Amino acid sequence: MKQSRGALAAILIVAAQGSQPLVAQSLMVASTAVAVDDRTRTGALTLINDGITSSEVSISTFCGYPVTDSIGRMYLRTFDTVDDTMPCAAKWIQSFPRRLRIEGKSRATVRLLVTPPADLPAGEYWSRIMVTAKGGEVTLTGLPDSARIKATLALEVRSVLSFYYRKGTPETGVLLEALRASVRPDSLVGRVRLTRQGNAAFVGSLKASLRDPGGKIRAEGLLPLGVYYTLEPSFSLPVQGLPSGQYQLAVEAVSSRPDLPPEILLQALPVRQTIQVTLP
């Protein structure tokens, strides 16, 4: 009886595996941003296949940068054609290799070589790097019907990272304007306009804090961002339970991000703006 139960369990496991194929394709990229200067013109990207199956990987580049929509959500604006005024480095980047196969539980390094035009002015030039990973195709049908229709779905994952090519000593900064806020039942929703200064993107964070009349911080938060031209993001702070009255809302733009090491980021002086808000 024990044996037959064991056999039944084995059959059930096999059946479950047959009807539920594990793709287990997993690609880790490090880092999420790559900065290359004009002295070395080279960079590297580490790709780690943490899955159990091999992955076909390809590297490509395109132009794009974060913008905000009408309600302050950030998204990546991309361009099929790039005009001369946009400092786009996408066409100058070559990856070695461009396509590779990474076995399960192994890693690979992709070298990035930048070949800019000879007369390139000093400054910062941007691109996005897309790492495309394809796993093996998986049959959708567990048991084909009498018509013998088989369907196969390929799953492809694209990871989009940022890239900066810096010639000379580019400088960045940011201007904060038009800070405003509206009170919702459980949150304070604010927006502020950030305009990049200098000749390089401002990649950093926006810190927000809400202080009571006694100067005590009652809510705070952090919004990592990249300002390439202008950005007008929205943010919210929890205010549920706070007593009614006057508060000071402060935002500060700083050139640090929790996910990126300082050597990738250009330093800029922090800037700050405050307004008074009334909680009902």
Which residue, chain included where needed, has tokens 């997993």? 26
Cβ proximity of 35 and 44 under 8 Å: no
Output the CA angle 275-225-180, nearest 5 degrees.
20
- Residue from 10, 12, 140, 178 touching other proteins (CB under 8 A): that is 140
- Residue from 156, 177, 178, 267 touching other proteins (CB under 8 A): that is 156
- 235 near other proteins (CB under 8 A): yes
Structure-token pair, residue 100? 């590779």
Tell me, residue by residue from 204 to 223, as one string, x for binding to other proteins by CB under 8 A and - for no binding: --x-x----------xxxxx
- Within 38-118, strands assigned E span 42-49, 55-68, 74-79, 93-96, 99-102, 106-114
- Residue from 5, 85, 153, 244 touching other proteins (CB under 8 A): that is 153
- 185 near other proteins (CB under 8 A): no
Cα(116)–Cα(235) distance, integer angstroms: 38
Q: How many CA atoms lie within 13 A of 106 on its CB side?
A: 12
Considering only residues 40 to 99 of the shown chain, the ones binding other proteins according to CB under 8 A are 50-51, 66, 71-76
- Residue from 14, 138, 178, 269 touching other proteins (CB under 8 A): that is 138
- 12 near other proteins (CB under 8 A): no
- Residue from 59, 90, 225, 253 touching other proteins (CB under 8 A): that is 225
155: left (phi over 0), alpha (psi -120 to 50) or beta: beta
Least distance between other proteins and beta carbon 3 (Å): 29
- 159 near other proteins (CB under 8 A): yes
